[in-house]
Structure 1
């Protein structure tokens, strides 16, 4: 129909229930068990049909029904209890006068996706779930943080399988009227919008606000009448396949997102870029800094990176966004006037060192250059990220590359089962989820009666089985499956059988095929009369990943075999709702990535907090979390060049562990009681995960290591008309111009070896600094044990002291070496700038002997 007018009607909520509207408009409810139950008890069937969306559920309930609930004293008492919690945890003012951030300081957290709840389709997978958990923990901790993302009209794809088991995708349009969002307003109460220049004209975007507890999440939306169709498509789908559209998304997120924050009156003290997708935010922040403080680009470049955090989640170079320079250039052309440099100079910040002006632009490289605080998301991933960044710092040792790590964590309240939450309230205290837990408190998990913990787990497993059956009935009905298959779906999986779950993105490096490498051996485990096993698979393949789709097809066809079809299931459309049931109801969480390709892998953490035991390759977080008391490892952390050989070795190891350790342990039940050793491991798993792998610990690490130092640094850099920042810019110019003249003569030692442990000797080196002065540089001896005849392994640096000023820019440096351990060692001497990490590790400012 033409000229169609639309309008939305919401229920007329009685006055006594008015708090329900406020609650439904803040996603705080989605990690509060009591609040979820408040919505559910209104009408459990409608709650389930709405997908747990309180706004949608409200439109399905009659006015008369609401009137009856409004007179229910029991319900009103429950509502009052939730309201008091909401007011204390969300609305109560926070005194930040003593914080480094001050009363109005803000941390801006940029991310391409946010996974907060299944009813908010703004996520694709682990990166988004991590971002959502980050916001929830920040709210719990009253951190002054805001989120910035995009509002996708179609979101990420929904998965369904055709009759042959081949993945198909559909993109259902999101009903924006069922989302708890409002148009964002500036401090004067006016609605705001942003515009970003693009090659096809200006990109206009509305700014929406979504509340996540105390944290506002702002979302940009190009689906506006004033935009032509091709520009409206920018925020249509998450991770658009078209390269030009992807660039436009990232330009809008970074540049448009930063502009929105300034229009809202909340210029960030600190910018946290979650993955390279948001790296353009630093460019707009530079321009805003220049304009706000009347400084030049070089001075702004001393401020912005020192107050920026860049977190990379990608363990392989192919996973980073890299765009042709000609595609990015027209988007950045308008910044020339505001930054005072050519667009080619701006592009160079995201290009490989020494590359030409037309070389590709890497969002990873841009993020590295624009942030002083850089981190991977697990200890192993930090090492991998340093190895991947060697081309940016080719002159320093890999272990010294300035990338650290903050291991991811999960928001425990969002993922813990209601049964386990009740046990924690009894044994850890009623506010166990409100503060970082000490080991003394968490160790009370050992006091939980084995029978109670096992009974709670059995209830979770029963709920998982019911959910899988229901979802499989739906997926078979969608395919018009024959009656026999529908009946099979009603009886798939059994209570009390060892349940293994493999649920994750179906990328080839995650190796879903490993468990199916010896089908006859696997079938024997599944069909065992005394110790049977059942397996649940779930996960999506990228729409263009045909190898990943083929893995899914093979698993589905295996699951249809007559001999195993009651004990193997592939459940479609893996999302937060399904994930919650899987991590709560599984017995074993299986993870088989090809090391070191798993950056972290937080699903195993979610399982662990529920007492599910991990069986995993030593990759990502499991390198830090594994102990024999809380799970199993496949291999010992080896890395192979021959992938076929690796698969063969590790698949055999997987089968051996299942047959010889996992299955016997699970079925070691005496007199029908809970399996004692298994329950002991469940408790150990819970303690390990809650103490070390919660999002509260993760956000506290970011706050301590990055946010607070950056906030304090910003204040000093801006004091006295940005005097220090201007001085740093001048010093950098001085270093750049004079550094090429530095020369180091070969160092000498005052004694000849061989040496014995405990011996001392002095090392001297004559260094020509030219016009530079000793207080401007660090002269260091770098020494370590030799890896081969002419290659040093890991080493360490020690500062050398000026022994003598020999005039004309020549200085004699000296230090003493203590022979602490035996072995063959090597040493050399280098010069680097003196200062913080931003200046010490500036690419190009290092000279070796």
Structure 2
């Protein structure tokens, strides 16, 4: 008989071992090697069979073993030392505490639909979650006061296996929160009852959730769980699985994450005494409804109007977009939004028409029938960023319509390139080599010391990691083939699968079509030749999951599995099912080369190649995401991309041919070119260069410092300016915006002229005069700018510069502006004039999307400067 409910019964530890529970309940153990060593020593065999999950370990270890450890003085000394180290880590000042305390926020709320922290907490599906997990770990290491918010999925993401013919199968193992390193948030003021947050639904229904807390070092992560008895079955199922269910189900998850998440933070801060967040960071659009809840709070509790509350919320909100693919953005039917935010479910504080306007695609080529979560996130966030420099460019192109008549370069979407948490992803052997010279500097600094590490030591470490991957791959292969129904006799070949001395290429990621899992199979015979080359063989380790609803992705997996099943090559190419953090750690450490061949520019950033680089791997990649930014010719190889081709089949053919040639003529040649000591000197030079130059860039400490300096601190200052004196700033800005938007149609550039155009020379100044009709506005409401620079053949100004023109005499609403433009470059030169709104509380002059330009071709000078 099958159980109808799964429970985890925790062990009762002997008193001397009670400190183990404190260690288990702080996820710092997931990246702290000394604590992991302590857990391993409890029972080494059980530790491995429990998949390095300390909760499972302590739940299954025998009473006799616990009794022996309770009497083991050496173990108890190690336990005390680990506890002291953790407590010191949690309380000692860190990087953030050394910064300007008055400038940075006292608290930051970070919302994400998934978090990849450890394989023991399966609440992630891919890169978004892994990035969110690394963000929290790094915040803990740096002392950045973040509170994370997410959902607790009772089935998490699916476990992957393969059918006998290589088709992906999904399994959703039930997750019992009591068997995870979590604690239930309880209210001491309510006799210790669990905290409940609730959101209203249509037809008078209520969605209620309890709050679990995962302690990620210094950072609390609040996970909302709707599986509570107050809910009906449909409501209990809202947090059943990550990215599961249909459109209605997904909307309820995102409402609970955003609206319920804000309410959970309020309860947590009240109970814990931590400061309320000044900055709210929305990691992709899934949590965008948090802005609506904050608007409701300000309207109901502070008496602000919707517009005034919107300005206060925007000032302290950061929105990060993670996708360059429109299909990757959540869109809901407008009628569904109306159902959940209007009628009986609506409130006067947040009118449904204002909600719908926030997510409306009211720009050219927009779909007027949908509600776009990313668009709402950008309208609710004063600061928006992509996750690599190239992704910033793509995002400005995707969303530029939100900012009207401005050039794409001025669209206020910046970029902070992702990074990875070194202590999670870098093998101990590599950290020991690089940190040996400067141990106190890790992680984030000291990577340049790799240049001083003897090459034979790097080669020995790389061989150790490659062998570890081979052994783990054989174990996983055997397990997978057994699940597919193979007999022991049919699996004898696995004992010799892969070779710890063969060039090993890794490819692991989600399997949407644009990532092109099967590009390597474009010419199967050429791939076979690479794998079976008698002098320079190559082996490839592959992993990845397709979304359960993505039949095309599943077919790609089946294609690669069928090829890898071929008897002649199966010892050289393997597909390892159930890609997760543990497998990812093994692969990025053990592979010599990390391969990535997406359709450019559809990879927002991609971080697996960063992890490989930090382990001494070299990248072989299309110049997309982060690799476009930091490839320097000496840290790997760039696969040429045929971006301009309209024929996708021809493009794949050309890029696959380039991939084969790079592997055959460059990668494998350099790997197998050994000196008298058996060392590939040129290869190792590239490895050392990669560690020394990429190391400081790709670590998440660099990333989070960028967030603090470029986004969090400015957002906190803006939020304070809005909130001061009972939100006087928000009230003022909202009134000013309403006045400017209403009056803007009356703003016009009536006349532009210049002096000094005859025979201009470099170093001279061009005097520009403009007459602007401000209509009902005042000169203080606008900035009049000269826009100038090199022009192309169509007279478009390329990479323009801007200089504000001072206001002069005025006649009624017409104001004369005069200023000088430097002629600082030779060749074709042009200028124009524009009018933009300005206010000290705006983050940028493009914020309103309003600009007034002279009628073409007025004001254009196009002449060669000498």
Question: TM-score normalised by the shorter chain: which range applies?
Answer: over 0.9
The aligned residue for residue 608 of structure 2 is: 603
The aligned residue for residue 669 of structure 2 is: 664
Partner of residue 826 from structure 1, selected from 806, 819, 830: 830
Partner of residue 539 from structure 1, selected from 540, 544, 547: 544
Contact 1:101/1:711 (8 A) holds in 2 = no
Cα deviation digits, residues 733-784 of structure 1 (max 9, x gap)? 2212222211112422224456443343222111001232212210112234
1:711 aligns with 2:716: yes
Contact 1:617/1:633 (8 A) holds in 2 = yes
Compared with structure 1, are the counterparts of its residues 628 and 620 closer, same or farther at alpha carbon in structure 2 (3 Å cutoff)? same
The aligned residue for residue 355 of structure 2 is: 346
1:631 aligns with 2:631: no
Matches within 5 A, 1:93-242: 100=101, 105-186=106-187, 188=189, 190-199=193-202, 201-242=205-246
The aligned residue for residue 50 of structure 1 is: 50
Cα deviation digits, residues 140-162 of structure 1 (max 9, x gap)? 11111100000000111111111
Partner of residue 320 from structure 1, selected from 329, 340, 360: 329
Cα deviation digits, residues 662-703 of structure 1 (max 9, x gap)? 111101112343211111211222223320011111111111
Q: Using the TM superposition, give the Cα deviation of residue 711 of structure 1 relative to its aligned residue in structure 2, in angstroms.
A: 1.7
Matches within 5 A, 1:383-402: 383-402=393-412
Q: Using the TM superposition, give the Cα deviation of residue 4 of structure 1 relative to its aligned residue in structure 2, in angstroms.
A: 8.1
The aligned residue for residue 333 of structure 1 is: 342
Q: Using the TM superposition, give the Cα deviation of residue 216 of structure 1 relative to its aligned residue in structure 2, in angstroms.
A: 0.4
In 2, the alpha carbon distance for the partners of 1:169 and 1:5 equals 21
Contact 1:311/1:376 (8 A) holds in 2 = yes
Contact 2:449/2:692 (8 A) holds in 1 = no
Gaps of 5+ in 2: 855-866
Compared with structure 1, are the counterparts of its residues 626 and 831 closer, same or farther at alpha carbon in structure 2 (3 Å cutoff)? same
- Name the SS for the 2:211 alignment partner: strand
Cα deviation digits, residues 439-491 of structure 1 (max 9, x gap)? xx332111111111111111111110111100110111111114443112222
Q: Using the TM superposition, give the Cα deviation of residue 653 of structure 1 relative to its aligned residue in structure 2, in angstroms.
A: 1.4
Q: Using the TM superposition, give the Cα deviation of residue 721 of structure 1 relative to its aligned residue in structure 2, in angstroms.
A: 1.9
The aligned residue for residue 787 of structure 2 is: 782
Q: Using the TM superposition, give the Cα deviation of residue 259 of structure 1 relative to its aligned residue in structure 2, in angstroms.
A: 1.3
Partner of residue 474 from structure 1, selected from 440, 460, 479: 479
Cα deviation digits, residues 74-103 of structure 1 (max 9, x gap)? 322322332222011124578969854799
In 2, the alpha carbon distance for the partners of 1:294 and 1:732 equals 19
In 1, the alpha carbon distance for the partners of 2:452 and 2:2 equals 68
Cα deviation digits, residues 27-53 of structure 1 (max 9, x gap)? 010000111111111112211121211
The aligned residue for residue 70 of structure 2 is: 70
In 2, the alpha carbon distance for the partners of 1:367 and 1:361 equals 11
- Name the SS for the 2:571 alignment partner: coil
The aligned residue for residue 860 of structure 2 is: none
Matches within 5 A, 1:158-557: 158-186=159-187, 188=189, 190-199=193-202, 201-264=205-268, 265=270, 267-333=276-342, 340=349, 342-353=351-362, 359-429=369-439, 431-433=440-442, 436-437=444-445, 441-557=446-562
Matches within 5 A, 1:84-99: 84-92=84-92
Cα deviation digits, residues 256-293 of structure 1 (max 9, x gap)? 10111122225321100000111111110111123343
Cα deviation digits, residues 619-656 of structure 1 (max 9, x gap)? 00001221222111112785543322322222121111
1:720 aligns with 2:725: yes
The aligned residue for residue 38 of structure 2 is: 38
- Name the SS for the 1:211 alignment partner: strand
- Name the SS for the 2:87 alignment partner: helix
In 2, the alpha carbon distance for the partners of 1:815 and 1:561 equals 74
Per the normalisation by structure 1, the TM-score is: 0.95
Cα deviation digits, residues 354-375 of structure 1 (max 9, x gap)? 6999731000100110011100
In 2, the alpha carbon distance for the partners of 1:841 and 1:279 equals 22
Contact 1:336/1:343 (8 A) holds in 2 = no
Per the normalisation by structure 2, the TM-score is: 0.93
Per mean C-alpha deviation after superposition, the further-off stretch among 735-744 and 316-325 is 735-744
Contact 2:226/2:238 (8 A) holds in 1 = yes
In 1, the alpha carbon distance for the partners of 2:807 and 2:131 equals 49
In 1, the alpha carbon distance for the partners of 2:303 and 2:623 equals 51
1:569 aligns with 2:574: yes
Cα deviation digits, residues 408-435 of structure 1 (max 9, x gap)? 0000000111211222342222x3336x
Contact 1:148/1:219 (8 A) holds in 2 = yes
Contact 1:137/1:699 (8 A) holds in 2 = yes
1:655 aligns with 2:660: yes
Per mean C-alpha deviation after superposition, the further-off stretch among 577-586 and 740-749 is 740-749
Q: How many equivalent residue pairs?
A: 843
Contact 1:121/1:156 (8 A) holds in 2 = yes
